[in-house]
A and B are shown apart, each in its own frame.
Chain A
Amino acid sequence: MGVRPMTGGVILFYVFAAITCLGAIGVVLSQNVVRMAFWLIVSLGSSAGLFFMLHADFVGALQLMVYVGGTLVLLIFGVMLTTTGQYMKIQSSPGEGVLAGAVGFLVFSMLFASVIQVDWSNTTTKIGITVPMDDTTETYNATGMGNTARPLGLSLLGLRPDKDLGKDAGSSLSTGYLLPFEIASIHLLVVLIGASYLARAKRRAGSVD
């Protein structure tokens, strides 16, 4: 593993990675709920930056929209409006600290062990970007620069522009992500209906009639 030259991309990677880690540490160390949420947003936002550096624009935008926005909603409606003062500051006892530290250490050692077991030497040279779509079509993007939205959307419809299905025609590979997508959609619908049912049931029990 040779030392990478410090190009702009590498420097930016270190910056985003450092902000992600510092944000995560900030979540653990701060005791105010709102500050915790703020550090969580910093951490999630800069991991979205890491996605952008991988040219995964759609995933990065989704990270901003769902996780950063979702954390915000969680913070406001889940924590700030439902608690009455005493939970705004979270002070953990030493026993909890030891327990959480042990769990964190176990997860970290598992991740660390699996990371160092991979032979990364093959990935130090950059793989040339091939455009799966028709390259005669002129687009506004430089080739392969983050225009992942169309291949992703087509995959959800069952078309795979990134795979030569003619070659794998006999295999049992699924052609797309239509079925998993539909399953996830139905799952979310069930959760939504369940949530609204629970909210209504509580109100009915408390009402006069």
Chain B
Amino acid sequence: MNILVCARRVPDTSENEIELNAAGNDIERDDLVYSVNEPDNYAVEEALQIVDRVGGNVTIVTVGGEDDEEILRREMAMGAKHAALISDETFSGSDGKGIATILKAFVEKGHYDLILTGVQAEDGAAQVGGMLAALLDYPFASLVNSIEVLDGKKLKVSREIEGGNKEINEIDLPCVLSIQTGINEPRYVGMKGIRQVASVEIPTFGASELGIDPGAVGEAAAKVKRADYFVPTPNKAAEVLEGSRAEKIDRLIELVRAKGGLN
């Protein structure tokens, strides 16, 4: 099975305290630690496990710039055979549909049975996979937390729905699935693995190579644009406990006791 995984490099929220910059119009981007978007990493692991079971190979693709190559190498170190960077000045400012349009052009250059994305990236939109599927007229399932290959033509997939329940579906290939975290245990990638793929040539594709109309992507085509960032307003004014740790603990015990949480 030929599997394409669409991945993205994002600021790592477990490594950074995301805050606004001095101007208050963007997040503070200096000194941010970036990594592969966490659900995308699960998607790559899932693709590798499917290939281990039924054969085939895994290609990783990202839309971005030179800096984004590092996540392609990281995912190649996990075991992906191929990677591609889609990069063009005209792509900047693309909204979700723009990114999906770019990916569609790349998909049509190859032959993929299965396309995986992470369920969402740092913007929490959870949109590109569903849009890509619709543009390709492929079936789509979101929030996938298990995949079983039934035959060369269809999969059995489980979706995460409410209350820890699972919705089981059959889906025809080729299709697009958005992968939920927890579907597997992504393998560890050491420095050695990354060194082994450090000099692999990663092909780059621009708008002209992919036959993308620059008018259909980028900022000019984007119908959805972020105007600015701001600090969320708290729903409640929390009592912030100050002082030494012992003082905080004593106050906390007092409060919890008053609320009936301690007898």
A binds B: no
A residues near B, CB below 8 A?
Answer: none
